[in-house]
Amino acid sequence: MKNNFCLALLALFMLGCPSEENNEECEKVMECQEDSEMVCDKRENDCGQDCHYYVVEHCYEVCKK
């Protein structure tokens, strides 16, 4: 029983992950989304605000349709 389990585990290990390079159906392109946020705090002397503007861009690969 233990030998069968070891043999099955070895077979899965030798097969590995499928190669992404052989997938000719999918042309990969980068797709990005930008998110922005502004955070403002009042100053200690109540005169104006300190504002910080943050921009974050998330990119990932997708298949071109």
Vertex 28, ends 26 and 30: CA angle to 5°?
155
pLDDT in tens, the chain (65 residues): 778 877 777 777 777 665 555 556 788 899 999 999 999 998 888 788 899 999 999 999 988 86
DSSP at 1 = -
pLDDT at 64: 81
What does pTM read for this prediction? 0.41
Question: What residues does each domain of the chain span?
Answer: 21-65
The residues with which 54 forms a beta bridge, in sequence order, are: 37
Q: How many CA atoms lie within 13 A of 45 on its CB side?
A: 2
What is the number of residues in the chain? Answer: 65
pLDDT at 58: 92
Token duo for residue 57: 């861009």
